[in-house]
Amino acid sequence: MKLRILGCSGGIGGNLRTTSFLLDQDVLIDAGTGAGELSLTELSMIDHVFVTHSHLDHIACIPFMVDSVGFMRDRPLTVYATEETLDILKQHIFNWKIWPDFTRIPNAKNPFMRYQSIELGEAVVLNGRRITAIPADHVVPAVGYHLDSGKTSLVFSGDTTIHDASWEVINKIQNLRYLIIETAFSNSEKELAIVSKHLCPSMLAEELKKFQRDAEVFITHLKPGEVELTMQEIENSVHGRCPTMLLNNQVFEL
């Protein structure tokens, strides 16, 4: 398994792209603006999109992708998410008002896109790769994902705040090698982080005290204009670990 980071910023501007990770050649974990970095051919090869939650910075490219390459494919693009998140996508995005309903284009029997609901703790197995939704706590229904090759594994927190249930699951993963965890705001915006259910460096430091695995930690979802400040605050706050900033085009081998 190979995971390539297409986008990992909390915003856009310049070379900043929002969250999207490419697993091998056929799976996306979220489809924020980072997915727009792929060529038409690369987009046409994607069969599966796993969505953490319904916010635009994580789903923005799904409508464009299915519209751009649906006709190039011989099977539907499958969008995986919890039932609550799928309901939001159906009601607010693929509703013919914001964007066409591609589960009915070109027709309901042979659509360009299909939905597949998932449950927490339920592994989706794709050619030996296990992708499992894990708990997260955000202002909308949300999950993180555990990606397991059988040899090693990676956890992506998705957008989340302080959440003990997440660590109960993560700490049981014996072969965990990488943790990608969000820190959206600097410490001066802690109240905003709390209200919006994100993390800031001081909150991250408390959360990582609960982390019992010997794995590398990478920080994602940093807000534009606050990257250096937030990473410096993380360095000052987190002791016993050395989290590093996640980068576009970084590749993880699993």
Predicted pLDDT at 252: 98
Cα 176 from Cα 171, distance rounded (Å): 9
Predicted pLDDT at 196: 98
Predicted pLDDT at 12: 96
**What's the average model confidence in pLDDT over 163-181?**
98
pLDDT band at 78 (very low <50, low <70, confident <90, very high): very high
Q: How do residues 99-111 score in pLDDT, each as one tens digit?
A: 999 999 999 999 9
pTM > 0.75: yes or no: yes
Residue ranges covered by each domain of the chain: 2-253
Beta sheet of 244-245, edge-to-edge order: 123-126, 129-135, 143-148, 153-156, 176-182, 216-220, 244-245
Predicted pLDDT at 177: 98
Q: What top-level class would CATH report for the domain 2-253?
A: alpha beta
pLDDT band at 3 (very low <50, low <70, confident <90, very high): very high
Predicted pLDDT at 130: 98
Q: What is the mean pLDDT of the chain?
A: 97
Inter-residue contact 217 to 3 (CB < 8 Å)? no
Predicted pLDDT at 237: 96
Beta bridge partners of 77: 113
